Amino acid sequence: MRRTKSLVKIALVMMSDPHGQYWGYDLTRQAGVLSGSLYPILRRMLEDGWLTDGWEDPATVSDRPPRRYYELTDKGRAALGATLAAARRERRFCELNWGFAG
Amino acid sequence: MKEVLGLLVHVPTLSTVLFGMGTLALIGFAPMFTLRLILLVYPPDDDRRRELLAELYTLKRTEQMWWVGQQAATMLFDGVPARLRHMRRRRTERELAPSGVSRLVRSLVKALQVIEKWRAIEKSTTTRSP
């Protein structure tokens, strides 16, 4: 997958808790990426086997439909780790907030 | 002032402004309806339809307008390619297995029709001859 700024931002958020569950809207807010970029990236990550998806248990939500969540696979953790490692060396990504990932 | 009034009377400008205001009002007052319209671009079996609708329920009323506006861009970059892929897949499915079978069935039916015609002609000739 092409190493874009959006992908690196998403990788930063997801790799801060690699075993967590992520929702589309939360990801857009945390990563600071517009949903027009996020959802195509999520689709590609799903197709490449970097992510698995699932739906919230309907029994746990009452007043709204269940949301779809995403989780990183082992392949995805390795791939996003490699993406971050490569991005850290590139100049164009230096203004990103690397936090603990850096 | 005259120029502003002139612009207001100018029909293309007026219609553009009205269209823009109408769109904003639609997104603002009926975000769910607008989102459902946007989601029609996605293929019917795409999980994104359910996902985006469910996301909308979790948002505050003030955030919904901005979110739905963003989904127009999502539709362009995610929905349109998904729809095109879906159409291509359906076309190839139609061209491959089912179409081959249907072509065979169609030619068999045609052959049977021709045989029936011949038989009918034969019958009519045999009944006439004596």
A64 to B51: CB separation less than 8 angstroms, yes or no: no
Which SS3 state, helix, strand or coil, does residue A71 take?
strand
Pairing of strands A51-55, A68-72: antiparallel
Tokens of B37: 């319209």
| Complete DSSP assignment for B38-56 | HHTTS-TT-HHHHHHHHHH
Chain B residues touching residue A68 (CB < 8 angstroms): 47, 50-51, 54
Residues β-bridged to residue A54: A69
Partner B contacted by A54 (CB < 8 A): no
The pLDDT assigned to B50 comes to: 93
pLDDT digits (tens, 9 = 90+) for A65-100: 999 999 999 999 999 999 999 888 888 877 776 665
Task: Give A6-59 pLDDT, tens digit per residue.
Answer: 999 999 999 999 999 999 999 999 999 999 999 999 999 999 999 999 999 888
What H or E segment, with its residue span, contains residue A22?
A: strand A21-23
* Residues A43, B82: C-beta atoms closer than 8 Å: yes
Tokens of A90: 């590139």
Give residue-wise pLDDT tens across range A42-52: 999 999 999 99
pTM score > 0.80 for this model?
Answer: no
* ipTM of model over 0.90: no
The backbone torsions φ and ψ at residue B85, rounded to the nearest 5 degrees and listed phi first, read -60, -45
B56 vs B4, higher pLDDT: B56
Phi, psi of A23 (to 5 degrees): -110, 150
Of the candidates B58, B74, B82, which has its C-beta nearest A35's C-beta? B74
